[in-house]
Amino acid sequence: MGATLEIRNLHVSINDTPILKGVNLTINQGETHALMGPNGSGKSTLAYALMGHPAYTVDSGEVIFDGVDMLELEADERSRLGLFLAFQYPVAVPGVTVANFLRSAINARRKSENPEDPGITIPDFRRLLKNKMDLLGIDHKFAGRYLNEGFSGGEKKRNEVLQLATLEPKIGILDETDSGLDIDALRIVADGVNKLKGPQLGILVITHYKRMLEYLQPSFVHMIMDGQIVESGGPELADEIEEYGYKPFFAKHGVEATED
């Protein structure tokens, strides 16, 4: 049986301002879910809180992943259990190459399972990374570049997908991976994610717009407003949002309209 990410009645605040006000959501390995919502509804907060960003305070609720209480764990431990976050705005880290970083990440996983593990050999790692880059259609030169330094918007997002592919998590959260991309760049990134889809990967796609979803075809669509999931359904929910925007939903759920 695959892993499950269960979010139960999650309340999260930033600097004492409540942002998430009781989120419930369950994602199984192998499923693709979409989380849509207007700006300021708490989409990215959910992503960061799930990953354990220290600036986000969990006030109450539970996050259970593969039977483990995630809220007690640091970000690196969550990652090693099989949770992944593709950042909306990944930071640039000068002097650290993509390859060096990914090798450190793989070795950290191996070492946590067995402290005696000498780490992946350089030839094995090169082969692994090359295969992943080929799968995603990424130039091999990419491996020698400094992490996100001087990357275009599209390259940053492809780098996130490369990391997703290499680390092989059980659940991957894509935080507005479509933002800032033109239609061609979006297609390349979405194609990459599609190649990784399968029974071993559960995906939560966080997005403001439907266009990413046309490629990724989620089976489950959720809508978040004012820190709560207010609607859950199938792909038809995304169509409805696309057609009417968030406006009708504000009224329906008694939420004060923000910009949509």
Partner 1 sequence: MTTVRRRRTREFVEPPITWESIIERAQANQEPDWLIELRQAAWAQYQAMPMPTLKDESWRRTDYSHINWDSAGIITIDENPDIASIPAANRAPLIGDEQGALLAWVNGTVAGQELNPRLAEQGIIFTDLHTACHEYPDLVRDNLFQKAMTPNEGKFAALNAAGWTHGLFVYIPKNTRVELPLHSIFYQHSGATLGHVLVVVDRGAEVTVLQEYLSPEGEEHTGYIGGTELIVGNGANLRYVSLQAWGHNMYEFSHGRGHVMRDGQLDWVVGSMGSKLTKSFMQIALDGEGAWGRMSGMFFADGNQLLDHDTFQVHNQPNTTSDLLFKSALKDEAHSVWRGMIRVMPGAIKTDGFQANNNMLISSTARADSIPGLEIEADDVRCTHAATIGKMEEEYIFYLMTRGVPRIEAERLFTNGYFWDVLERIPFEDVQNRLLADVDRKILGHHNQ
Tell me which residues touch partner 1 (CB under 8 A).
51-55, 74-76, 78-80, 84-85, 87, 90-91, 93-96, 100-102, 104-105, 108-109, 112, 146-147, 163, 167
Report in angstroms the alpha-carbon separations of 212 from 155, 190, 218. 17, 7, 10
Q: Is 253 helix (H, G, I), strand (E, B) or coil?
A: coil
Selection from 175, 223, 173, 174 nearest residue 35 by Cα: 223
CB of 139 to partner 1, least distance (A): 21
Q: How far is it, in rounded angstroms, from Cα 96 to Cα 100?
A: 6
On the CB side of 26, CA atoms within 13 Å amount to 7
Distance of CA 94 to the CA centre of its chain: 23
CB of 118 to partner 1, least distance (A): 16
Q: State which residue, 38 or 52, has the beta carbon closest to partner 1.
A: 52
Q: State which residue, 37 or 82, has the beta carbon closest to partner 1.
A: 82
CB of 238 to partner 1, least distance (A): 27
Q: State which residue, 103 or 210, has the beta carbon closest to partner 1.
A: 103
Instruction: Give yes or no for a contact between 19 and 226, defined as CB atoms under 8 angstroms apart.
Output: no
CB of 133 to partner 1, least distance (A): 17
Q: State which residue, 180 or 235, has the beta carbon closest to partner 1.
A: 180
| Token couple for 21 | 């006000």
CB of 101 to partner 1, least distance (A): 7
Q: State which residue, 100 or 200, has the beta carbon closest to partner 1.
A: 100
Q: State which residue, 45 or 228, has the beta carbon closest to partner 1.
A: 45
User: Which of the 8 DSSP states describes residue 91?
Assistant: P
Selection from 70, 48, 58 nearest residue 10 by Cα: 58
CB of 104 to partner 1, least distance (A): 6
**16: which residues sit within 8 A by CB, 6+ positions away?**
none
